[in-house]
Amino acid sequence: MAAPTITDIRAYVLRGGGADYHDQDGPHWIDDHIATPMARYPGYRESRQSFGLNVLGTLVVVVEASDGSSGFAVTTGGEPAAWIVEKHLSRFVLGATVTDLSRIWDQMYSSTLFYGRKGLVLNAISGVDLALWDLLGHVRAEPVYAMIGGAVRDEQPCYATGARPDLAVEFGFLGGKLPLHHGPAEGADGFAANLRLLAEMRAATGPDAWLAYDCWMSLDADYAIRLAHAAAEHGLRWLEEPLPPDDYWGYAAVRKALPPGMLLTTGEHEATRWGFRLLAEMGCADILQPDVGWCGGLTELLRISALADAHGLLVVPHGSSVYSYHFAFGQHNSPFSEFLMMAPAADEVIPMFHPQLLGEPVPEHGRLRIGQLDAPGFGVTLDPGLALARPYRRE
């Protein structure tokens, strides 16, 4: 029996929290004086929204097949990514069979090399790719994890990212990853404040909980190394993304200079197997953290994971909810997952992409169970009450 063909692809945008989790309307821990590359300018220090971190919004990609099946995905990208999907990428999707994921990916990537390679274009490609995997799962009545080889474990332990690692431990998570609040521009006082918060959280979580610092590209190598050594007495498990993502040489130097037992992680803002090849071959990290909604989608993430495994590296995707859950359950080198605490005060466990997805699973006592992912595709639906806008239509 011939596979169905793809008959339609549409790109919508949404505002507010969800896939673009920085697009929060009110006070939220994720936008509370967090260290960034822009913090060197005092006027952009208090809020990441002040320099436009939430400017894009959510991209929603919907695909339909000739048998009546449909699939969708959400990622960050908003209106600019919607233009790319409708005006450029759609030509490689329409009329293709639902199983042609590798060919479609290669055509999308190759055709956009002259203005793409990373960033917004890869977000758009990722959104299309994830929607196609969701569609294929509905055509086959299978969950995505089953289509990529099946699960290698029945439960997936998680750590929590947010402002309250102490509460995360109470909820059953492995531990918590804190946002770093002060960077080099805030001098010795900021450095000391970073250490005080870490000490407080170590006292509150006990000696065995994982604690990590997310530095969000905000440091230089000297500051990162000094912070790592000062934080060692508080049992910091890893330092995450301390440098700009293109400074591969700096990452290699920082990793070599870390205290014994401390790990260096990065990759949230990297893309494609070629970007991660540099991280792996130059010895830039112990754990790679691609975001499946930004790095090229699931098709590319599987390639990145194989490359990492050959270099003895773990792959723990950045956030991305069900899209990373289905991936991680099937990979031996992804033994735990990140869960973003998206409650404004990080004081309760709510779905990561709330309120956009229905049926989105959350960890129970800090663990995901494979039975939570058994619905076809990625197992979620788009809330029909959302105010979707379609700013562009293909010609």
End-to-end CA distance of the chain: 32
Q: Is residue 130 part of a domain?
A: yes
Same-domain check for residues 369 and 239: yes
Same-domain check for residues 156 and 278: yes
Domain limits for position 322? 147-375
pTM for the structure as a whole? 0.98
Q: Which of 56, 130, 120 is nearest to 324 (CA)?
A: 130
Asked if pLDDT for residue 94 goes beyond 90, the answer is yes
Asked if pLDDT for residue 395 goes beyond 90, the answer is no
pLDDT in tens, 190-235: 999 999 999 999 999 999 999 999 999 999 999 999 999 999 999 9
Same-domain check for residues 281 and 214: yes
Residue 351, CA distances (Å) to 98, 178, 291, 359 in order: 29, 19, 17, 9
Same-domain check for residues 137 and 152: no
Say if residue 22 carries a ligand binding annotation.
yes
Same-domain check for residues 155 and 295: yes
Q: Is 318 among the residues known to form the active site?
A: yes
8 Å CB contact between 56 and 48: no
- CA 384, CA 49: separation in Å to the nearest integer? 28
Q: What is the mean pLDDT of residues 31-35?
A: 97
The DSSP element (H or E) to which 137 belongs, if any, is helix 120-140
Same-domain check for residues 185 and 235: yes
Residues in CB range of 338: below 8 A, 6 or more apart: 158, 159, 161, 177, 289, 316, 317, 318, 319, 324
Same-domain check for residues 125 and 153: no
- CA 220, CA 216: separation in Å to the nearest integer? 11
Omega before 317 within 30 of 0, i.e. cis: no
Q: Is residue 156 part of a domain?
A: yes
Say if residue 367 carries a ligand binding annotation.
no
Say if residue 48 carries a ligand binding annotation.
yes
Q: Is residue 37 part of a domain?
A: no
Give me the catalytic one of 28, 181, 269, 318: 318
- Which CATH number fits the domain that encloses residue 119? 3.30.390.10
pLDDT band for position 1 (50/70/90)? Answer: confident
Same-domain check for residues 165 and 305: yes
Residue 49, CA distances (Å) to 31, 38, 261, 297 in order: 7, 11, 35, 26
Say if residue 338 carries a ligand binding annotation.
yes
3-state secondary structure of 197: helix
pLDDT in tens, 53-84: 999 999 999 999 999 999 999 999 999 999 99
pLDDT at 22: 96
Same-domain check for residues 74 and 212: no
Q: Which of 186, 173, 171 is nearest to 44 (CA)?
A: 186
Asked if pLDDT for residue 251 goes beyond 90, the answer is yes
